[in-house]
Amino acid sequence: MRKQLVEQLALKGIADGQVLAAMEAVPRHWFIDSALLPLAYKDQAVPIGCGQSISQPYTVARQTEMLGVRPHDKVLEIGTGSGYQTAVLYTLKAHIYTIERQYDLFRQTERLLAAAGYKVRCFYGDGYKGLPAYAPFDRIIVTAAAPEIPKQLLQQLKVGGRMVIPVGEESQTMYVIDRVEENLFRESSHGDCRFVPFLAGRE
């Protein structure tokens, strides 16, 4: 089923072989409630409790492809959620720091990722602030929609680094932001998307 899903993703335009291989390797069903297992390998978002959802596989693939992760990159993920995107990034051999603002999800996913052998660092907190103590990062991926690009996150990017973030309230656009020089950021937009909102503070 996972192979078929990956074939669908390729047909929908995902061209990066490494991303497709990572998605073929990560068992998405581990990250989904057992009652919803039949949906694990369909190309759709699935509720994960706490009012959140695991992103649609196409979205995970597309965002990961745009991120352009290289082995050993230091990556900050905002919105751990189910941990599925986290596992895909780990499979691409990146060093992952991931933040979740909902305590229950943070606890549950931190445990799941560790039990499944994904060695990543999970943090409970407000992703708007990033992780200044661990900055700078080669890559930052935001998996909830922000009303605007958080300035504090831009400051945590290395020069030569890249952030991928959905921006907007009702309708959202995917942005790629490259830090070209210390004070020079280059922004490009990559079509419409739909994410749960990025919320300030923690619960």
Active-site annotation, residues: 55
Distances in whole angstroms, Cα of residue 33 to Cα of each of 61, 174, 203:
21, 28, 22
- For helices 84-91 and 57-67, the axis angle rounded to 10 degrees is 40
Q: x-or-dash pattern for ligand SAH, window 73-112, by CB under 6 A?
A: -----xx-xx-xx-------------xxxx--x-------
Q: x-or-dash pattern for ligand SAH, window 29-68, by CB under 6 A?
A: -----------------------xxxx-------------
Closest approach of ligand SAH to the CB of residue 141, in Å: 8
**Which is nearer to ligand SAH, 13 or 197 (by Cβ)?**
197
Both tokens assigned to 62: 């597309």
Residue 203 pairs with which residues in a beta bridge? none
Closest approach of ligand SAH to the CB of residue 29, in Å: 13
Apex CA 50: angle with CA 90 and CA 139, to 5°? 30
- Work out whether strand 137-142 and strand 121-124 pair parallel, antiparallel, or are unpaired: unpaired
How crowded is residue 130: how many other Cβ atoms within 10 Å of its Cβ? 25
**Which is nearer to ligand SAH, 101 or 139 (by Cβ)?**
101
**Which is nearer to ligand SAH, 37 or 159 (by Cβ)?**
37
Compute how many residues bind ligand SAH; rule: CB under 6 A.
24
Residue 198 is a binding residue for ligand SAH (CB under 6 A): yes
* Of residues 68, 49, 58, the one with CA closest to residue 6: 58
List of residues contacting ligand SAH (CB under 6 A): 52-55, 78-79, 81-82, 84-85, 99-102, 105, 126-128, 143-144, 196, 198-200
